[in-house]
């Protein structure tokens, strides 16, 4: 079974600060996705990265896929209270066409 470890598990910061969330594995994934989940809701896709070394930007969010396709990071610039939520990384197992999820990073941004 492929495993994904996320760090940190919890993060509480002030509005305006920057932060980085990490997603690491000993396995290679065909692609990696980042989701955001709010209380009482299902996860919602933020981005998919496919190529080793790929960097994608979504407004204040920057996603990077490691060269070896085993790790990824999510960087948020100037965090806002609306960024509060559970961030999940998920690797695509092409053998099963199913996602393996990390345990998540719970982010709270204080105004």
Partner 1 sequence: DAEITQSPRHKITETGRQVTLACHQTWNHNNMFWYRQDLGHGLRLIHYSYGVQDTNKGEVSDGYSVSRSNTEDLPLTLESAASSQTSVYFCASSENQGLGSIAFFGQGTRLTVV
Please give the residue ranges that form the binding site for partner 1 (CB under 8 A): 1, 4, 6, 9, 30-31, 33, 40-45, 48, 50, 88, 90, 92, 94, 96-104
User: Quick one: 76 or 104, whose CB is closer to partner 1?
Assistant: 104
Residue with smaller CB distance to partner 1, 47 or 109: 47
d(CA 8, CA 21): 7
Structure tokens at 105: 């990073």
Q: Could you tell me the smallest distance in angstroms from the CB atom of residue 102 to partner 1?
A: 5
Closer by beta carbon to partner 1, 9 or else 12: 9
C-alpha to C-alpha distance for 25 and 42, rounded to whole angstroms? 24
Nearest approach in angstroms of CB 43 to partner 1 is 5
Closest of 12, 54, 13, 17 to residue 33, by C-alpha: 54
Q: How far is the CB of 12 from partner 1 (least distance, A)?
A: 17
Ramachandran bin of 68, using left for φ above 0, alpha for ψ from -120 to 50, beta for the remaining angles = alpha
Nearer residue to partner 1 within complex by CB, 23 or 61: 23
CB of 78 to partner 1, least distance (A): 27
> Edge-to-edge strand order for the sheet containing 5-7?
5-7, 19-24, 71-76, 61-65, 55-58
């Amino acid at each position: 079974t492929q495993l994904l470890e996320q760090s940190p598990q919890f993060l509480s910061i002030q509005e305006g600060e920057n932060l980085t969330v990490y997603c690491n594995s000993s396995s290679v994934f065909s692609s990696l996705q980042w989701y955001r989940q709010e209380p009482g809701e299902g996860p919602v896709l933020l981005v998919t990265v496919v190529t080793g070394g790929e960097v994608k930007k979504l407004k204040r969010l920057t996603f990077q896929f490691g060269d070896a396709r085993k790790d990824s990071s999510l960087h948020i610039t100037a965090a806002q209270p609306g960024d509060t939520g559970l961030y999940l990384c998920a690797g695509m197992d092409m053998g099963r066409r199913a996602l393996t999820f990390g345990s998540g990073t719970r982010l709270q941004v204080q105004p």
